Amino acid sequence: MTTDVLIIGAGPTGLMAANQLQRFGLDFIIVDSKAGPTVESRALAVSARSMELYQQLGLADTVLERAVKINGFHVYSNGKRKTSAVFDDIGEDLSDFPYMMVVFEQNKNETILYENLQAHNKTVMWNTSFIKLTEHADYVEAKVKTETGEETIRAKHIIGCDGARSPVRHQKDFSFEGGTYENKFYVADVHLSNDFDSRKLMLAPSDETFTAIFPMKGDNKFRLVGTLLPQYADKEDITFEDIKAEVSRCSRMKLEYEGVNWFSIYKLHHRCVDNFSKGRVHLAGDSAHIHSPAGGQGMNTGLQDAHNLAWKLAYHLKGYANADLLDTYNEERLPFAKWLLGFTDRGFTLMSGSGWFISRFRKYVMLNVMRLLFSTQNIKPRLFKTFSQTSYDYTKSSLSASDATQKLKFKAGERLPYIEPNFYLHFSAAQFHILHIAKQNLAPKTAANIQATFPFPVNIVEQKLSPAWQKLGVRSELFILVRPDTYIAYMADTFNESTWKTYLERYFLSRE
Ligand SMILES: Cc1cc2nc3c(=O)[nH]c(=O)nc-3n(C[C@H](O)[C@H](O)[C@H](O)COP(=O)(O)OP(=O)(O)OC[C@H]3O[C@@H](n4cnc5c(N)ncnc54)[C@H](O)[C@@H]3O)c2cc1C
């Protein structure tokens, strides 16, 4: 079999990569050793930035219908509700998805992405395990084991989306530095008959541990998460029955269990590669970085990796860009993965640390600080931007440049400013866009001349120089080159062909 891109692993990352490549019309094969999408709920939350990817795929409404939009939290201490915060629409004016947390479990993500592939006449080769990889000058060959025997797939590029243990990462000898946390973690999806608010996250810090209870879609369905007490750490085959009483004792909450759907214990690691790509082999998601689930960023980061890499592979393989464009995948995603490791590490240490100071801090200080933060008007947007991954930027990327002389409040490399509801729908098509902000629209002939400057199709989006743009520093005509992932590539006050060609030269016009 021959293809442009072979994706190994059909978890959320691999399935997002496949969906994106499908949008760009690229040929790909996706394989997974499992028999179908994940059955367990596993990762719980989808960020606003991931919702924007679903919007591009036309799936955002379906996700929201099947999800729970968390709108605040309650903090319990010694079994009593001590403090609460409401963050209804915390990201208002920042995204079409202004929710702090959308509970849409991993299995649902995989199912919706898989169904969308099928709707476009694509599928996953299930029950197909990657075994061996051989790299050649112009292609990569992967040996896979199917139900009927071994096969060889030849691809121009391979994406290893094969999770934390990544056989692809091992075969290509990527480094994966980091460590393993001492504490183990448990997750349990349970039915509770308590009369809890079905849209509030509940947090119950105690001296010994930290219990979090997330409402899930379905009658009285909740996810319990916490660190396993040390006495259970070395025990094999623990069931939820074994620790049920401890969860209630530590949280001091009278949890009335009706049943358990899923229970799992896992060891947490914090590790990251030192490069996301080696030649024609790229890693994305858990195969490239693993960290604690504090902040619910794991699955979302994999989805964003896949999005970033897919359009670059598409532009290169369609002949619109040179191979250097692929280096910007690592340039842009590695710093984020490293930042995330630090961010989740601090969160996890606070949640799970057992020292006197940290347990006191967790119980008496941290949650009051949280409540204060979530109720302070000018801090709320910042919290939203961080947790939703909408504030992360690629301003240091070599793909980001600006010749605009206006004093703008946004930079090349940032996510395009969100200016009004449904704004990103203008940029849904799988291509680059020119956003033209001015008092008057471009004349058709000028628009055609602009489009002809590019070695690939661009879609021109017209915006009036409105007060909203003026607030962001736009004083006169502005041209913004918007990447297929709605980040700003390049900006200029005018469309001067030679200046634009200078920008395009590095990755797009000097294609070989
Ligand atoms: C029990 C559990 C609970 C979790 N809870 C949370 C949470 O609450 N929040 C959070 O953010 N994250 C959580 N995570 C982590 C989250 O699941 C991952 O971050 C996310 O799944 C990463 O997606 P991925 O597609 O990169 O990798 P994975 O989901 O691991 O997918 C990898 C895929 O590759 C396939 N594969 C592996 N080897 C091969 C091979 N040789 N050939 C073919 N296919 C192969 C696997 O079958 C799998 O389908 C949890 C993980 C576990 C295990």
Q: pLDDT per residue over 45-97, tens digit each?
A: 999 999 999 999 999 999 999 999 998 888 888 888 888 888 777 888 899 99
User: Which residue's CA is the closest to the ligand 1 atom numbered 2?
Assistant: 42
pTM > 0.85? yes
Q: Is the CB of 392 under 6 A from ligand 1?
A: no
Which of these, 361, 392, 382, lies nearest to 52 by C-alpha position? 392
Average pLDDT, stretch 28-33? 98
Determine the distance separating the centroid of ligand 1 and the alpha carbon of 472, expressed in angstroms: 40
Instruction: Return the best residue to mutate from 6, 286, 297, 344 for the ligand 1 pocket (most ligand atoms within 8 A of CB).
Output: 286
- Joined tokens for residue 54: 């679903």
Q: Is the CB of 43 under 6 A from ligand 1?
A: yes
Quote the Cα angle for 251-255-258, to 5°: 145
Q: Is the CB of 326 under 6 A from ligand 1?
A: no
pLDDT of residue 33: 98
- CATH architecture of the region 2-66+103-178+272-353: 3-Layer(bba) Sandwich (3.50)
pLDDT of residue 15: 98
| Distances in whole angstroms, Cα of residue 11 to Cα of each of 40, 44, 282, 392 | 12, 14, 16, 24
| Distances in whole angstroms, Cα of residue 89 to Cα of each of 17, 46, 98, 100, 471 | 29, 15, 5, 7, 22
pLDDT tens-digit map of 157-207: 999 999 999 999 999 999 999 988 877 889 999 999 999 999 999 988 877
Determine the distance separating the centroid of ligand 1 and the alpha carbon of 106, expressed in angstroms: 9
Domain with CATH 3.40.30.10 in the chain: 401-509
pLDDT of residue 348: 65
Domain with CATH 3.50.50.60 in the chain: 2-66+103-178+272-353
How confident is the prediction for the chain on average, in pLDDT?
91
User: Do 490 and 482 contact (CB within 8 A), yes or no?
Assistant: no
Q: Kindly state the percentage of the chain with pLDDT values over 90.
A: 71
User: Which residue's CA is the closest to the ligand 1 atom numbered 44?
Assistant: 32
Q: Is the CB of 163 under 6 A from ligand 1?
A: yes
Task: Give the Cα separation of 120 and 430 in Å (integer).
Answer: 15
Judge residue 381's burial from the number of C-beta atoms within 10 Å of its C-beta, 0-12 exposed, 13-18 middle, 19 or more buried: middle
3-state secondary structure (DSSP) of residue 116: helix
The minimum-distance atom of ligand 1 relative to the CA of 286 is: 26
User: Which DSSP category does 229 fall into?
Assistant: P
User: Do 484 and 311 contact (CB within 8 A), yes or no?
Assistant: yes
Stronger pLDDT, 390 or 410, i.e. the higher one: 410
pLDDT tens-digit map of 430-456: 999 999 999 999 999 999 999 999 999
Question: What do you get for the CA distance between the two ends of the chain, in Å?
Answer: 26
Determine the distance separating the centroid of ligand 1 and the alpha carbon of 163, expressed in angstroms: 5
pLDDT of residue 20: 98
Q: Is the CB of 187 under 6 A from ligand 1?
A: yes
Q: Residue 190 CB: number of other CB atoms within 10 A?
A: 23
Which of these, 182, 184, 180, lies nearest to 242 by C-alpha position? 184
Task: Give backbone dihedrals phi and psi of 185, rounded to 5 degrees, phi first.
Answer: -120, 145
Task: Return the percent helix, strand and coil in the chain, to nearest 5.
Answer: 35, 30, 40
The minimum-distance atom of ligand 1 relative to the CA of 225 is: 8
pLDDT of residue 355: 62
Determine the distance separating the centroid of ligand 1 and the alpha carbon of 286, expressed in angstroms: 7
Above 70 in pLDDT, residue 42?
yes
Quote the Cα angle for 53-58-60, to 5°: 65
Average pLDDT, stretch 247-257? 87
User: Identity (one letter) of the amino acid at 86?
Assistant: V
Candidate ranges 345-349, 363-367, 383-387; pick with highest mean pLDDT: 383-387
pLDDT of residue 113: 98
127 pLDDT tier (thresholds 50, 70, 90)? very high
pLDDT tens-digit map of 470-497: 999 999 999 999 999 999 999 999 999 9
Q: Hey, what CATH topology would domain 401-509 get? A: Glutaredoxin (3.40.30)
Angle formed by the axes of helices 12-23 and 106-119, to 10°?
Answer: 30
Task: Give the Cα separation of 210 and 353 in Å (integer).
Answer: 9
Hey, which residues does 179 pair with through a beta bridge? 270
pLDDT of residue 356: 59
pLDDT tens-digit map of 311-364: 999 999 999 999 999 999 999 999 999 988 887 766 666 666 666 565 666 666
User: Which residue's CA is the closest to the ligand 1 atom numbered 20?
Assistant: 299
Q: Is the CB of 413 under 6 A from ligand 1?
A: no
- Between strands 210-215 and 2-8, the pairing is unpaired
User: Which DSSP category does 416 fall into?
Assistant: P
Those residues whose C-beta lies under 8 Å from the C-beta of residue 450, and which sit 6 or more positions away, are: 434, 442, 458, 460, 495
User: Do 213 and 199 contact (CB within 8 A), yes or no?
Assistant: no
Determine the distance separating the centroid of ligand 1 and the alpha carbon of 198, expressed in angstroms: 27
Those residues whose C-beta lies under 8 Å from the C-beta of residue 253, and which sit 6 or more positions away, are: 76, 79, 202, 204, 211, 213
User: Do 103 and 45 contact (CB within 8 A), yes or no?
Assistant: yes
Q: Is the CB of 170 under 6 A from ligand 1?
A: no
Q: Per residue in 71-86, is it b (16+ CB within 10 Å) or e — as a string?
A: bbbbbbbeeeeebebe
